[in-house]
Amino acid sequence: MDTKEIAFKGFKMNGFVALFLHLVVLTAVVVVCFLMSNPVLFVIGVLGVIKWFVLFAGYMQLEPNEARVMVFFGKYKGTFRETGFFWVNPFMNKKKLSLRARNLDVEPIKVNDKIGNPVLIGLVLVWRVKDTYKAMFEIDSQTMADTSTANSKEVTAGSTVGNRMNAFENFVRIQSDAALRQVAGQYAYDNNESEADELTLRSGGEEINDQLEQKLNERLAMAGIEILEARINYLAYAPEIAAVMLRRQQATAIISAREKIVEGAVSMVKMALEKLSDEEIVELDEERKAAMVSNLLVVLCADEAAQPVVNTGTLHH
């Protein structure tokens, strides 16, 4: 991802040194000017008082994984990432951003899979701001944040940062919905017997998550936002077809079970006929063998226990 962010190269001073000069040296100069009877010094003292208050706007502090986007009368001057307490030009607009990772739990949305079945799919992702220039100036996050702040009853410095990050989160949420629809539409919810090896949403696992993360990063690159992890955390058929699909799965399971039962029954019948023949227990003609095979298959494949019938007749006429 090409970055447009640059490091801040303007003047900066240690905040504690600046605070000492501000509160001690400048205050002493202002007091001396007011104590003197010279009108010129009195004017200098008044200007000093004004400067005393203006200088307070230059202080700022940064914690780890925070940044300040420095704007001087509308011109981008760079991004300040150094942690600590500093003083800079008080006329510099210092827009604060958080670079920490944030979670987003996207509520399940209804999409159509590859074969047109409506499914509910949701995801959870981890994101963070990577390029502060793009985040602040490539998308209209500032207007959204300012509008949110204006509509709130209480306006504080922390709420401005929070509203700005909420604007980013709203942008990520909308783009994640679009990416989720795009990825989900490329795969079926589950495979059928004719496409047993095809990748599906249900069995895709890491491969589906990797594609989802790639699509999200492509969409969010313009906003300077990076997706650290994206995972599907909810997947189900939509309610209108869930019952039908459940019956389909039950039918598939029943057919599979019947196939195993028939396979085992045929093997047992074959073994029974071979043992009767090898050990010469009884000789059966083809008609008797067919009847025996039919009876054994009925007994072995039936869901209920067979009712025995005692035959007291003879095998030979």
Two tokens at 19?
């605070």
Q: What is the dihedral of CA 200, 205, 209, 212, to 10 degrees?
A: 0
Q: Are residues 191 and 203 in contact, defined by beta-carbon separation less than 8 angstroms?
A: yes
């760079």: which residue's tokens?
A: 78
Greater confidence (249 vs 190) lies with 190
DSSP β-bridge partners for residue 75: 72
Topology at the third CATH level for domain 102-237: Tetrahydropterin Synthase; Chain A (3.30.479)
Model confidence over 115-164: pLDDT tens digits? Answer: 888 888 899 999 999 999 999 988 876 666 555 544 544 433 445 788 88
Interatomic CA distance for residues 6 and 279, integer angstroms: 92
- What are the residue boundaries of the structural domains of the chain, listed by start? 12-95, 102-237, 244-301
209 has a pLDDT exceeding 60? yes
Q: Are residues 126 and 229 in contact, defined by beta-carbon separation less than 8 angstroms?
A: yes
Q: Are residues 231 and 123 in contact, defined by beta-carbon separation less than 8 angstroms?
A: yes
Two tokens at 131?
């390029």
Query: What pLDDT score was predicted for residue 88?
Result: 94
Model confidence over 276-292: pLDDT tens digits? Answer: 777 666 666 677 767 77
The values of phi and psi at residue 74, to 5°, are 90, -5
